Structure 1
Amino acid sequence: MRVLVTGANGYVGRAVVASLAHRGHEPIAMVRTRGKEIAGAERVRVADLLDHESLCRAVQDVDAVCHLAGLTRARESVEHPLRYFRVNTAGTLGLLDAMARGGVHRLVFASTGSIYGTPDRQPMTEDLPAAPPHPYAGSKLAAELAIEAQCGAGELSALIIRMLNVAGGDDPDPTRLIPRAISATTGESVLAVNGDGSAVRDYLHIADAADAFAAGIDHLPALGHSATYNVGSGAGSSVNDVIVAVERATGQRVSVESRPPAAEPGILISDPSRAIAELEWSPGRSSIDAIVQDAWSTVSASH
């Protein structure tokens, strides 16, 4: 199947292209600007979510779309909410319109588990009500609603994947916990830890995340229908767990600076059991030690 991957030059996008190629699909990489070669891509098409003509060109002659392009930083979205709704919501509307005009009716959409907010019930299942805590989550939820409406109109078959914390490999975001903890083993920086380090999060290996999108392409519902899946490890790791895992992998001590407790959820864990049962997928590489070891190996190889 010819699959257009939007955001193909991003952290998850590159991994999705590689996973699709491994499964025998023909991934076509959609990027905003040409840059490094994207391993596994059959072709590269330059387009922007906010440029409708370029989107119409990008979807020509494809069978399906994996839509990963967008803005993803929750804190930044609080400061620039309109930008997030413009790119994540309006950009998705533009893509849906281009797909409809081009006769493309299959979509796998990258969404976020943060849509659930901070529910008391953990792990989080797909039947929890939406309670987006910031504009990033809100913009993704609005895009989901548009996708579901297009399915309801009989124009689309869609699979929505809600992820939390993707990690491992060549993570380009130095603000995330695992890259910061690894950096704090060199003596050049310290890891600031809020409170006692007991906050628990669900970490998903980048390769497991990518394989979920490829599995989604192979398990799309019938035309006119949508399905939503949580994709995560199903296990929680505290900040302290991450620190210990980094120290095990590197053999070095993580320099920690203790800070006052922050107003943040104590625990957020995704329940991926539906995805495991229905997509023939599993988070087999997503133990915290495997994720950290992979991240450390990538950092070591680059030096």
Structure 2
Amino acid sequence: MRVLVTGANGYIGRTVVAALGAAGHEPVAMVRAIGVEIAGAAEVRLADLLNADSLRRAVCGVDAVCHLAGLTRARDSFAEATQYVRVNVGGTIALLDAMSAVGVGRIVFASTGSIYGSPERQPMSEELPDAPPHPYASSKLAAELVIEAQVGAGELAGVIARISNVAGGVDPDPTRLLPRTLTAAARHNPLSINGDGSAVRDYLHLQDAAAAFVACIEHLPEAGRAVRYNIGSGRGTSVMDVVTAVERVTGHHVPLEHRPPAPEPAMLVMDPSKAAAEIGWSPRHSGIDEIVRDAWAASAAVL
């Protein structure tokens, strides 16, 4: 299948392109910058979510779209809420319009598990109500609703993949926990954590995330139907578990600086059992030690 990957130059996008190619598909990488090389891409196309003409050219001749492009930093979204709506919602609408114009009727959308908010029920299944806690999650939910509306019109088959915290490889976001902890280990700098570090999250290996998109592409529903899957490890890992794993893998002590506790959920863990049952996907590399080993090896040159 010839698959357009939007956001192909991103952290997850590059790995999705490689995974699609390895699975025998023809990934077409959509990027915003001229001259960007994407390993494994059958073709690279220049386009922007906010440029309708470029989007129509980008989607020509493909069979399906993996839509990963967008703004993703939850903290930034509070100060840039309108921009998050403009890119994540407006860009998705523009992409759907372009797909409709050229007759492309299949999409897999990269969404976020943060849409569930902080439910008491853990792990989080697809049946939980939506409670987006920040503009980023709200923009992703709005984009999901737009896709589902287009599906309801009978023009589209869609898969919504709500992803947990992706980790491993070279993470370009230095504000996330694992990159900060690896930097603290390499440079012997204090790592600031909230409270006692007992907050639990679901960490998903980058390779497992990419494999999930391949599985979604290979199990698209019929036109007029949308399916949502939670894509996570199904494992809870606390902040201190991450610190301990980094010390174990690297052999370096991580000095800690405890800040006052923050008002944050005690536990957020995804239930991926629906994806396992319906599309045959399950995480294979998302144990915290394997994630840390991979990230440490990949980041050694820059740390």
Runs (4+) of structure 1 moved beyond 4 Å?
none
Q: Where in structure 2 are the equivalents of 1:169-208 lying within 5 Å? A: 169-187=169-187, 189-208=189-208
Counterparts in 2 of 1:261-280, with a 5 A limit?
261-280=261-280
* AA at the equivalent of 2:72: T
Q: Matches of 1:267 and 1:164 in 2, distance apart?
A: 12
Instruction: Give the aligned partner of residue 6 of structure 2.
Output: 6
Structure 1 pair 9/118, CA: closer, same or farther in 2 (3 Å)?
same
For residues 84-103 of structure 1, what are the alpha-carbon distances to aligned partners after superposition, in whole Å with 9 as ceiling and x for unaligned? 00000010000000000010
Alignment of 1:241-256 (within 5 A): 241-256=241-256
Q: Is the 8 A contact 2:188 2:255 kept in 1?
A: no
SS at match of 1:45: strand
The alignment status of 1:22 with 2:29, answered yes or no, reads no
Could you tell me how far apart the structure 1 residues matched to 2:188 and 2:263 are?
28
SS in 1 for 2:49: coil
State the distance in 2 between where 1:221 and 1:46 align: 29
Report the secondary structure of 1:204's partner residue: strand
Deviation string for 1:227-265 (max 9, x for gaps)?
000000000000000000000110000121111000111
Is the contact made by 2:188 and 2:254 (CA closer than 8 Å) also made in structure 1?
Answer: no
The RMSD of aligned alpha carbons is: 0.9
Q: TM-score under structure 2 normalisation? A: 0.98
Distance (whole Å) between structure 2 residues aligned to residue 120 and residue 186 of structure 1: 37
Contact 2:188 2:253 (C-alpha < 8 Å) held by counterparts? no
1:186 alignment partner, SS class: helix
Structure 2 match to 1:159:
159
Query: How big is the shift at 1:277?
Result: 1.1
CA distance in 2, matches of 1:276, 1:302: 36
Following the alignment from structure 1 to structure 2, what is the Cα–Cα distance between the partners of residues 59 and 36? 18
Question: What does residue range 47-126 of structure 1 map to in structure 2 within 5 Å?
Answer: 47-126=47-126
Amino acid at match of 2:2: R
The DSSP-based 3-state class of the residue aligned with 2:300 is helix
- String of CA shifts for 1:185-221, please: whole Å, max 9, x gaps: 1335321010000000000000000010011000000
The count of aligned residue pairs is: 303
Query: Normalising by the residue count of structure 1, what TM-score does the alignment of the two structures yield?
Result: 0.98
The whole-number CA distance in structure 1 between the counterparts of 2:162 and 2:35 is 28
Indicate conservation of the 8 Å contact 1:123/1:269, yes or no: yes
With over 3 angstroms needed to count, the CA separation of the structure-2 counterparts of 1:36 and 1:249, relative to structure 1, is farther
Letter in 1 for 2:291: I
For residues 4-50 of structure 1, give each alpha carbon's deviation from its aligned partner in whole angstroms, at most 9, with x where no partner exists: 00000000000000000011000000001135421110111010000
Offset from partner CA, 1:128-179 (integer Å, 9 cap, x none): 0010011100000000001001111000000000012000011111111001
Show the counterpart of 1:294.
294
Residues 211-226 of structure 1 mapped to structure 2, 5 A cutoff: 211-226=211-226
The Cα of 1:282 is off from its aligned counterpart by: 1.2
- Alpha-carbon distance in structure 1 between the residues aligned to 2:123 and 2:187: 36
User: How far apart in 1 are the matches of 2:92 and 2:61?
Assistant: 19
In structure 2, the partner of 1:127 is: 127
* Partner amino acid, structure 2, of 1:300: A
Does the 8 Å CA contact 1:187/1:255 hold for their aligned counterparts? no
Does residue 239 of structure 2 align to residue 239 of structure 1? Answer: yes
Distance 1:189 1:226 in 2: 47
Query: Equivalent residue for 1:259?
Result: 259
Q: Give the 5 Å matches for 1:30-45.
A: 30-45=30-45
Find the residue that maps to 1:150 and give its secondary structure: helix
1:201–1:237 CA contact under 8 A, matched in 2: yes
Structure 2, unaligned stretches of length 5 or more?
A: none
Q: Name the stretch that deviates more: 35-44 or 61-70.
A: 35-44
2: CA distance between counterparts of 1:152 and 1:287? 38
